[in-house]
Chain A
């Protein structure tokens, strides 16, 4: 592997070497290597780009890495990945996409991830998006995530986009059955003229299903962010949506929360706040000898942690 590839894989999937366990690495529009294990089988889709990932019922303490990297300018792709997580499984899934664009053409990766999480199964999903490159070509990432959760399924998702993605529109949908529990943590930082939008619909259909959505974002320079999370309670359920943003420079942030209940025992809470960096925090760190810029950086890092 070349240096750039290694660096990108590390940035998006914390991969320092070929991972143990199941993996599939996609580069510049095609699968370059993959590995299945006894319990986790990865198959190339026949009808369209993408893979099917089958996790056998009862699989425990295993992980799947499926990073995507784009190092050529002008690649545009739409990839379909389906995860079938068997009953009682407990696995970690690491996805992520990195674009290194040194040309003047747009590079775009649109990933459609569908999760079918079986009864009592548990997954932790981590997805990092990252862009870089000295070129003028745009880096575009439009992820679609669909989550189907069966009875008592548990899903924890961490989606992080910190640097270098010029435009992103994220669509997330989840349907929760009885007792299912969903936790989404979204972290976003935009700079320059970047644009990021996140639409989310969480349908709490089953009795005692619950969801917690936490979104933390920082918008710098002339960037723009739009959040549109929706929690729909169709049964006895609980949901908590929390959006916190730090706004800087000439950035724009819109947060449009929607909570709706179609059942009298649905408890849904939404909290949203947009504000500047707290001045007392800045001053406190400056009294430790940090410059204003260093102080800002510390506060932002902590906020996004």
Chain B
């Protein structure tokens, strides 16, 4: 279980202090499929980075199975089996898809295992195994390889940041099936940051983050209908811009 206790994340520049995450309290239970959604800039990716250790809270503590991990490095948290698929994954010159997946896995992956991870994200595996994860890959390809790399890891908590972004309809269907399968196994806690109805619908629980705060949270059936209602009210959800 991951628990955020009174976590805030502030950044200051010369002019002002921005409260990106504003005193959040949050528990993510084991074996659950949780979706985090909410408007752009609301703080979703920041929460993921705080859990992974990429950003450190300016106040508050983060616990993992009741161990205080606030001061642990990224590497140490990775070793506790926490993983994070980036919203915008980096590319690597000179590193092949197979090498990257092997690094994620922790040891050299056999070809067939590598292929099955790639197939799960809708990539025709044979063609990709020996390709470099460099600028020659398309955006959607890099994104899917990123997701595959998280699947190649043995994780207890897997966070996927907008896995649907930039992915075509065919691969997306494949991905949904894969997530459903992973959710069914319930071996790990899955946290998906998403704006996609089809992903949101398969979650056990939805957390809505806006303005650095938890705006709403609850079982999917309940929150999802509520969200749909908000869109009907002329985008009240997105703020006042549309009025």
Query: Could you tell me which A residues sit within 8 Å of B by CB distance?
Result: 278, 280-281, 283-292, 298-299, 301-305
Contacts and interface: CB of A to CB of B under 8 A. Distances in A.
B36 interface: no
Contact of B75 (A290, A299, A302): A290
**Interchain residue pairs A-B with the least CB separation, the first 7:** A302-B94, A280-B90, A305-B94, A289-B78, A286-B74, A302-B95, A281-B90
Interface in B65-82: 73-75, 78-79
18 contacts: A280-B90, A281-B90, A283-B54, A283-B74, A284-B90, A286-B73, A286-B75, A286-B78, A287-B78, A288-B104, A288-B106, A290-B75, A291-B75, A292-B75, A298-B103, A302-B94, A302-B99, A305-B94
Contacts of A290: 75, 78, 103
A303 B106 CA distance: 21
Contact of B94 (A280, A289, A304): A304
A284 B89 contact: yes
B75 A303 contact: no
A58 to B, nearest CB: 34
B52 A287 contact: yes
Contacts of A305: 94
B153 interface: yes
Given A288-B103, A289-B78, A299 B92 contact: yes
A287 B83 contact: yes
Contact of A289 (B89, B106, B149): B106
Nearest to B94: A302
A286 B49 CA distance: 13
A281 B94 contact: no
Nearest to B82: A287
B74 A303 contact: no
Nearest to A302: B94
A261 B99 CA distance: 42
Among A283, A289, A290, residue most surrounded by chain B Cβ atoms (within 10 Å): A289
Nearest to B146: A284
A287 B152 CA distance: 13
A293 to B, nearest CB: 10
Contacts, number: 51
B93 A303 contact: yes
Contacts of A304: 94
B195 to A, nearest CB: 22
Contacts of A289: 75, 78-79, 106
Main secondary structure of the interface of A (DSSP, over half): helix
A285 B153 CA distance: 12
Classify chain B: how many residues form its interface, as a range. Answer: 20 to 34
Given A286-B74, A288-B78, A289-B106, 19 more contacts: A280-B90, A283-B54, A284-B86, A284-B90, A286-B75, A286-B78, A287-B52, A287-B74, A288-B106, A288-B153, A290-B75, A290-B78, A292-B75, A298-B103, A299-B92, A301-B94, A302-B99, A303-B93, A305-B94
B84 interface: yes
Contact of A303 (B78, B90, B94): B94
A212 to B, nearest CB: 17
Contacts of A283: 54, 74
A195 to B, nearest CB: 26
Nearest to B150: A287
Contacts of A284: 86, 89-90
Interface string B83-115: 110101110111100010001101000000000
Contacts of B78: 286-290
A298 B95 contact: yes
A274 to B, nearest CB: 15
Contacts of A281: 90, 92
A303 B83 CA distance: 25
Nearest to A305: B94
Contacts of A288: 78, 103-104, 106, 149, 153
A302 B92 contact: yes
Nearest to A301: B94
A303 B95 CA distance: 8
Among A285, A287, A291, A301, residue most surrounded by chain B Cβ atoms (within 10 Å): A287
Contacts of B90: 278, 280-281, 284
Contacts of B54: 283, 287
Contacts of A280: 86, 88-90
B84 A285 contact: no
Nearest to B159: A287
Contacts of B92: 281, 299, 302
Contacts of B52: 287
Contacts of B73: 286
Nearest to A295: B75
B94 A285 contact: no
B74 to A, nearest CB: 4
Nearest to B49: A283
A283 B89 CA distance: 10
A292 B78 CA distance: 12
